[in-house]
Amino acid sequence: MHERPRDRETTMKPHSRSRIGRIAGLSGALALCVAAGAAQAADLAQGRQKADEVCAACHGKDGNTPIDPTYPRLAGQHRDYLERALLDYQSEQRRNPIMGAQAKQLSRADIRNLAAFYASLPGTMSHKR
Ligand code: HEC
């Protein structure tokens, strides 16, 4: 009973050490990614530009006047909700032929900027605290 943990330790050592090394390397890379993500603040001006060029055609220039009553209002929706929606259209977790095609044209930065831009517009879709 007492021998067991020690046995395991000696037999596992070379293996677990290399695995720990790999995990340490991975978490280092992960920390860098997280830091980089935090450093990339959304650019509202770029969000507005992209929105005017592409999205306004259907969602309206103010994000509040869609060309069809079945098209959603984006103005004032929560930033994280909009971002999630666009990522999900892109990955087809959320399926819609129109928005799927739109989202696939967007970079990760476009999505971040567009979500922040529409969230910043006055709207009735969420309560700002
Ligand atoms: C050709 C018309 C069209 C264009 C252009 C368009 N959209 Fe959409 N969008 C739609 C339609 C239709 C829906 C509703 C789809 C559904 O039911 O999921 C929608 C839904 C969305 C949603 C989900 C909103 C919600 O309440 O869940 C977001 C976010 C969105 N669009 C963002 C954008 C952005 C950002 C752009 C510009 C890059 C854009 N759309 C361009 C037609 C369009």
What pLDDT digit, counting tens, does each position of 51-74 carry? 999 999 999 999 999 999 999 999
pTM score: 0.77
pLDDT at 122: 94
Average pLDDT for 34-52: 80
CB burial readout 1-20, b (16+ within 10 A) else e? eeeeeeeeeeeeeeeeeeee
Task: Report which of residues 7 and 52 the model is more confident about.
Answer: 52
Chain position carrying tokens 């605290």:
129
Task: Say yes or no: CB of residue 67 within 6 Å of ligand 1.
Answer: no
Q: Atom 38 (ligand 1): residue with closest C-alpha?
A: 55
Ligand 1 atom index nearest CA of 51: 37
Predicted confidence band of residue 81 (pLDDT cuts 50, 70, 90): very high
Task: Say yes or no: CB of residue 55 within 6 Å of ligand 1.
Answer: yes
What is the C-alpha separation between 2 and 30, in angstroms, rounded?
38
Residue 38 in this model has a pLDDT that exceeds 50: no
Task: Measure 121 CA to ligand 1 centroid, in angstroms.
Answer: 16
Task: Measure 26 CA to ligand 1 centroid, in angstroms.
Answer: 36
Task: Say yes or no: CB of residue 102 within 6 Å of ligand 1.
Answer: yes
Q: Atom 29 (ligand 1): residue with closest C-alpha?
A: 82
Predicted confidence band of residue 29 (pLDDT cuts 50, 70, 90): low
pLDDT at 126: 80
Percent of the chain with pLDDT over 90: 64
Task: Measure 129 CA to ligand 1 centroid, in angstroms.
Answer: 25
